[in-house]
Chain A
Amino acid sequence: MTGLGARAGRRRMRRIEPAALAGVMSRELANFRTFWRATTFSSVLEPTIYLLAFGLGLGATIVDPIDGLDYEEFVGTGMVATAVIFSSALPAMFGTFVKHRFQNTYDAILAAPVDVEELVTAEMLWIGLRAGFYGCFPLLVSFLFGLDPTPAMLLVPIFCFVTALGFAAFGIAMAGTVSKIDQFNYVTTLLVTPLFLVAGTFFPIDRLPEGVQVAANANPLYQLVELVRHTAFGLEPTDILRLLALAAFAFVMWRVAVWRMTTRLID
């Protein structure tokens, strides 16, 4: 016997085993190798189009500089959050639902020594890593539009990763809740789109009504936008609280995702 049984005897397996996480993530990697070109293409092109449309279009014609920033710089740094939510929440929602409902992938994985908690954690980590990487692309594209690189920007992948963990877990939790794939329309319309729009990406939230400003402050994407802008234009002491808030968001959503998926996957 070459498997675990040969070397582990009657060792009690831990609740979350790194080998289980690595196994699930290796499956994601194997699949990703078959479609990375398309993902990378859209990750580069999308922020370029947005920056051309909003930055050069609106910035050059309608919008004045905001808080001393050119509109291209304002949008370019904000677009990081857009890239993060669209490369974490949406793949998590649709990917999880498809793997569960149509591909029966999770039945195969859970028949191996992998529990739902490990499965959800690994999926979150993988999406978090991917979104952490692709979230930086708008920033890189913004360099071509005149944004100056700073050493603090090296923190951006970490900020993106932590935020993406939360949104990945959110997407997984939604996939563990809806009964039909069409119901994601409610999620995107009622949650994802407002979060994306009221994140301070395209316009500053301090010009919104006070109630909306309070709501925007509770939006993890807004906190990410602020963190990214501060890496470009000066970090603040309160940024550590923003990062902790994003970590707390990820933790809470992780537990919700594990709960929803356990309900969905275990009879």
Chain B
Amino acid sequence: MSAIELRNVVKTFGAIRAVDGLDLEVPSGICLGLLGPNGAGKSTTMRLLTGQAIADEGELRVLGYELPRESKEARARMGVVPQLDNLDVDVTVEDNLAVFARLYRVRDVAGAVDRALDIARLRERRKDAVDELSGGMRRRLLLARGLVHDPKLVLLDEPTVGLDPQIRTELWSLIDGLRTRGATILMSTHYIEEAERLADEVAVMTHGKVVARGKPSELITRHAGAETAEVYGPPERLAEVRSQVEAAGLRVRPAGPAIAIVGAEKAQDGLVPEGAVRRAASLEDVFVMLTGEEAE
């Protein structure tokens, strides 16, 4: 049974189609990275899955429960880690966890709190108010709060957005541990590296729908080939190279101050300028080619 099944889901806000005919299936036991630029519809999809948004059209099923009718039953079995820190800052670490253990109807609240403290590596700080924690500790607590009831399915909504690299790496190791334990994870992100490191499969989302799906290596091979060549130089020179390469049937994408020739291994001799930096094609190439957005 798939943990999540969405069929032709549509959600509009006025004239904006935030989710536009979305089909998405997440098999049990995998980590699926939902990768897309801001405004792609990732957060709306997450809200649809937690019953905080109601789809205008389509079918949604989570852990076998039909949404929105059986949303409460589905929510009882899933954990959610939000994008924004919404911990109770004046309350102690353990009380933050205990409240959510009760909301999830956990019988052994004390045991669940202890397990969550271990996940967050915050046993020593259990009596401290959240306000006294560092940013990294708060994010770990937020993650542990979403796991306090040992859910079958975990939704991670941009779990490391806005964090510094050290905290991000810490969280990645926690999420990786979760994946190893066999939980199904749906993780929305707009960080390529995050998706590459953590996700078994990646679904690239833009304009409210999934435009590509597969293992990162498959997506790279399918959409970006084997090699990318980055060409640096003044804008006039880059424009000239771009038109020559495109005329030869290759694809070019912007890459900050440079342009990147995607599928450069297919280029005829002399087409890729001397001095271009050749590297293996990456998920970033796929992301930019499919969404038209610069990657982060």
Q: Do A and B come from one complex?
A: yes
Interface residues of A (CB under 8 A from B): 1-5, 7-8, 10-13, 19-20, 22-24, 26-27, 30-31, 33-35, 103-105, 107-115, 265-267
Pairwise interchain contact B72-A13, C-beta atoms closer than 8 A: yes
Best-surrounded residue of B11, B51, B70, B152 (most CB of chain A within 10 A): B51
With the chains together, A103 CA to B91 CA distance in Å?
13
- Cβ of B95 to closest chain A Cβ, rounded Å: 4
Q: Give the residue of B80, B98, B149 whose beta carbon is less than 8 angstroms from that of A2.
A: B149
Determine if B52 is an interface residue (Cβ-Cβ < 8 Å).
yes
Interface residues of B (CB under 8 A from A): 11, 13, 44, 47, 50-54, 70, 72-73, 75-77, 80, 82, 84, 86, 88, 90-92, 95-96, 98-100, 102-108, 111-112, 129, 145, 149-152
Instruction: Please indicate the chain B residues that have their CB under 8 angstroms from the CB of A31 in the complex.
Output: 88, 90-91
Instruction: Please indicate the chain B residues that have their CB under 8 angstroms from the CB of A2 in the complex.
Output: 106-108, 111-112, 149-150
With the chains together, A193 CA to B141 CA distance in Å?
42
Pairwise interchain contact B152-A107, C-beta atoms closer than 8 A: no
Best-surrounded residue of A3, A30, A104, A111 (most CB of chain B within 10 A): A111
Pairwise interchain contact B150-A1, C-beta atoms closer than 8 A: yes
Pairwise interchain contact A4-B76, C-beta atoms closer than 8 A: yes
Q: Give the residue of B47, B84, B107, B108 whose beta carbon is less than 8 angstroms from that of A267.
A: B47
Q: Give the residue of A23, A113, A266 whose beta carbon is less than 8 angstroms from that of B99.
A: A23
- Cβ of A148 to closest chain B Cβ, rounded Å: 41
9 further A-B pairs in the complex, CB-CB below 8 A; given A5-B76, A27-B88, A34-B91: A2-B112, A3-B76, A3-B105, A30-B99, A103-B88, A108-B100, A108-B145, A114-B103, A265-B52
A110 and B52 contact, Cβ closer than 8 Å, known pairs A1-B150, A13-B72, A19-B105? yes
4 closest cross-chain pairs (CB), A and B: A3-B149, A23-B103, A111-B80, A104-B86
* A10 and chain B: residue at smallest CB distance: B73
With the chains together, A139 CA to B28 CA distance in Å?
60
Pairwise interchain contact B102-A110, C-beta atoms closer than 8 A: no
Best-surrounded residue of B77, B80, B91, B99 (most CB of chain A within 10 A): B99
Instruction: Please indicate the chain A residues that have their CB under 8 angstroms from the CB of B88 in the complex.
Output: 27, 30-31, 103, 105
Instruction: Please indicate the chain A residues that have their CB under 8 angstroms from the CB of B149 in the complex.
Output: 1-4
With the chains together, A164 CA to B235 CA distance in Å?
69
Pairwise interchain contact A107-B86, C-beta atoms closer than 8 A: yes
Q: Give the residue of A12, A26, A266 whose beta carbon is less than 8 angstroms from that of B53.
A: A266
Pairwise interchain contact A112-B103, C-beta atoms closer than 8 A: yes
With the chains together, A186 CA to B39 CA distance in Å?
35
* B64 and chain A: residue at smallest CB distance: A10
* A265 and chain B: residue at smallest CB distance: B52
* A114 and chain B: residue at smallest CB distance: B103
Best-surrounded residue of A13, A108, A114 (most CB of chain B within 10 A): A108
Pairwise interchain contact B102-A19, C-beta atoms closer than 8 A: yes
Best-surrounded residue of A33, A35, A109, A267 (most CB of chain B within 10 A): A267
With the chains together, A160 CA to B72 CA distance in Å?
33
Pairwise interchain contact A30-B95, C-beta atoms closer than 8 A: yes
* B54 and chain A: residue at smallest CB distance: A266
Q: Give the residue of B52, B70, B82, B103 whose beta carbon is less than 8 angstroms from that of A20.
A: B103
Instruction: Please indicate the chain A residues that have their CB under 8 angstroms from the CB of B105 in the complex.
Output: 3-4, 8, 19, 23, 113
Pairwise interchain contact A266-B52, C-beta atoms closer than 8 A: yes
- Cβ of B66 to closest chain A Cβ, rounded Å: 12
- Cβ of B78 to closest chain A Cβ, rounded Å: 8
Q: Give the residue of B72, B80, B108 whose beta carbon is less than 8 angstroms from that of A115.
A: B72
With the chains together, A214 CA to B105 CA distance in Å?
48
Best-surrounded residue of B13, B88, B92 (most CB of chain A within 10 A): B88
6 A-B residue pairs with Cβ-Cβ distance under 8 Å, sorted by A, are: A4-B106, A26-B98, A105-B86, A109-B103, A113-B73, A266-B53
With the chains together, A26 CA to B107 CA distance in Å?
15
With the chains together, A150 CA to B22 CA distance in Å?
67
Q: Give the residue of B13, B52, B90 whose beta carbon is less than 8 angstroms from that of A111.
A: B52
Pairwise interchain contact B103-A24, C-beta atoms closer than 8 A: yes
Instruction: Please indicate the chain B residues that have their CB under 8 angstroms from the CB of A267 in the complex.
Output: 11, 13, 44, 47, 52-54
Pairwise interchain contact B47-A112, C-beta atoms closer than 8 A: no
